[in-house]
Structure 1
Amino acid sequence: MCRWAAYIGQPIFLEDIVSRPGHSLIHQSQCATQCHTAINADGFGIAWYGEKPEPGLYRDAMPAWSDQNLRSLTASVKSGLFLAHVRASTGTASSRNNCHPFTYGRWSFMHNGQVGGYDCFRRSAEMLIPDSLYAQRKGATDSEALFLVAIAEGLEQDPKGALERAAARLEALAREKGCAPYMRLTAAFSDGERLYAVRYASDEHAPTLYHRWSETRSGRAVVSEPLEDGEGDWDEIPPGSFCTFDAAGLTIEPFCPVRQPERHLRESLARSAAAR
């Protein structure tokens, strides 16, 4: 499975999360400890927010540890909100378009997990993406499909509810046409003002997720794995949780994917089109 890290707070250099810590994201790409796949070599990406509403985006299909441009970028760029990801493919090709984070307008999204048997119902999953959003479909992953379906479900107006509905629709396909585990999900996404994170699974094995406030940085890191081996003050986010991080602190709510009636989907699509 993939590894990822996100940050919100006072601006810091990206390297303070991505490469400098003892168990940084780049280190995890070579030696992850809390997932089935120790090596994450199928690409990487970073989305960061600065002066503009839309995030900057840098992605490549090469292993993160071998890219000197990545180290130069993270050593030079400061941001108060960013998402970083190293990829371990669950079946789709290693390509730049399949690397996280994915972006749409001011939104950025990254995912760790799987939708069980996705290759068996990929066409059906694609049909969940409305025509108005399909031009944004650049790659072939279940992660990008989940993001675009969530946008169609009203992510811009209702982040928690939209992701619950999108996850429910893909989980329903996995139960009908795929295989167990039907859904394992940790994800982080942002509109440039708030950072959202979710931890969920249809079984007892939700991917790991932690957060920690740093007084030194005046910011909070949200990660798949703690960034330093000896730090004991990382808090684990419980399974079935939806988190909102902003200037006011942290809110944790239950995350309960429930498929909604088709009428609700039509209303969500109308709201999304009106917002554009």
Structure 2
Amino acid sequence: MCRWLAYSGGALQPSTVILDAQHSLVAQALNSPLGKETVNGDGFGFGWYPEGQPGAEPAYFHSIEPAWNDQNLRELTRSVRSPLFFSHVRAAIAPPIQQTNCHPFRYKNWMFMHNGALADFSRVKRDLTFAVDPSLYPHILGTTDSEVLFYLALTLGLMDDPVAAMGAAIRMVEMVGHDHGIAFPMQGTVAITDGVTIWAFRYSSQGRTRSLFHSVDVETLREMYPDAERLKLFAPGDRLVVSEPLNDLPGVFQEVPESTVAIVAASGYRHEPFLTDSA
């Protein structure tokens, strides 16, 4: 489907993880061992919050070029520093390859990205899109199921309670899907942020969701790998959520369990059960 990463911590040069890691996001665009599709070359996106402005409106850069072949991505991620950023490489299933279909999506100070799919989206698209609040509908610029899911969650209160709103949006997807005879309507991992906190969801109707991991505490990693020079690039409060690990070192990344939301805040990680009741 796609691959993504989310970073939160001290202001960091995004190229450190998007370009320079052993299994960086750009490397995963070419070869994704844990992805449903090995190659994710149908465009990419990079969204970031300005240093010193937590919760401000983020900037973003979208391109339909393969991530490994875009010099602008290299220039940009090596030129800015950001305390919180998202990046996403896309493997298009059905919607066309165009900039408005590239993640992350943005509304005010919020960003959203998704790896997965709403099954048989063409059959449920009308019902779900018409459930979006009329004031939000004009902001839907692309044709993806992911963008509709974002605006559906905004309609259902994302800015007040992201976990409850995301749960309500997915339950609506499942209800509409079941009404159309779709057995497993929802698949995917989702990242949402307001520029301060990151909420990372792993859920599918079938209970077989795409992979999701987050990094272990940097100080713990330095104790585990005292000779690892690369760890010196990161401060104690730096945290990553990723579709798949960025290196082969055992214990650096911890898998997020099925039907879980991982909440990334200044205090660290917190896991909560997500939609564990039967649909």
TM-score, normalised with respect to structure 1: 0.90
**d(CA) in 2 for partners of 1:257, 1:146:** 20
Matches within 5 A, 1:167-178: 167-177=170-180
CA contact (8 A) 1:168 1:257 kept: no
CA-to-partner distance for each residue in 1:89-133, whole Å, 9 max, x for gaps?
121111100000000000000000111110112111211111110
- Once structures 1 and 2 are overlaid, which stretch shifts more, 226-235 or 181-190? 226-235
**d(CA) in 2 for partners of 1:143, 1:35:** 17
CA-to-partner distance for each residue in 1:151-173, whole Å, 9 max, x for gaps?
11111110100000011111222
2:137 aligns with 134
Deviation of 1:259 after TM superposition, in Å, equals 11
Deviation of 1:231 after TM superposition, in Å, equals 4.0
**d(CA) in 1 for partners of 2:249, 2:201:** 25
Secondary structure of the corresponding residue to residue 121 of structure 1: helix
Determine if the alignment matches structure 1 residue 254 to structure 2 residue 273. Answer: yes
1:59 aligns with 62
1:39 aligns with 39
1:163 aligns with 166
Determine if the alignment matches structure 1 residue 103 to structure 2 residue 122. Answer: no
Match 1:226 to one of 245, 250, 274: 245
1:5 aligns with 5
2:48 aligns with 48
Identity %: 38
| Equivalent position amino acid for 1:184 in 2 | Q
1:199 aligns with 202
- Once structures 1 and 2 are overlaid, which stretch shifts more, 102-111 or 164-173? 164-173
CA-to-partner distance for each residue in 1:59-118, whole Å, 9 max, x for gaps?
111111110000010111111101100011121111100000000000000000111110
**d(CA) in 1 for partners of 2:207, 2:159:** 30
**d(CA) in 2 for partners of 1:66, 1:73:** 14
Root-mean-square deviation (Å): 1.7
Displacement over 6 Å in runs of 4+: 257-260
Inter-CA distance 258–159: structure 2 relative to 1 (3 Å threshold): farther
Determine if the alignment matches structure 1 residue 148 to structure 2 residue 151. Answer: yes
| Equivalent position amino acid for 1:118 in 2 | F
| Equivalent position amino acid for 2:116 in 1 | G
1:190 aligns with 193
CA contact (8 A) 1:168 1:259 kept: no
CA contact (8 A) 2:129 2:152 kept: no
Secondary structure of the corresponding residue to residue 68 of structure 2: helix
Count of matched residue pairs:
260
**d(CA) in 1 for partners of 2:275, 2:33:** 28
**d(CA) in 2 for partners of 1:259, 1:45:** 34
Deviation of 1:234 after TM superposition, in Å, equals 1.0
Inter-CA distance 253–8: structure 2 relative to 1 (3 Å threshold): same
| Equivalent position amino acid for 2:218 in 1 | S
Deviation of 1:179 after TM superposition, in Å, equals 3.0
| Equivalent position amino acid for 2:35 in 1 | C
**d(CA) in 1 for partners of 2:277, 2:46:** 31
Secondary structure of the corresponding residue to residue 185 of structure 1: strand
**d(CA) in 2 for partners of 1:21, 1:231:** 15
Secondary structure of the corresponding residue to residue 131 of structure 1: coil
| Equivalent position amino acid for 1:55 in 2 | P
CA contact (8 A) 1:165 1:259 kept: no
2:218 aligns with 214
TM-score, normalised with respect to structure 2: 0.89
Determine if the alignment matches structure 1 residue 242 to structure 2 residue 261. Answer: yes
Deviation of 1:258 after TM superposition, in Å, equals 7.8
| Equivalent position amino acid for 2:114 in 1 | H
**d(CA) in 1 for partners of 2:177, 2:41:** 26
Deviation of 1:178 after TM superposition, in Å, equals 5.6
CA-to-partner distance for each residue in 1:1-50, whole Å, 9 max, x for gaps?
10000100111100011000010000000000112200001110011011
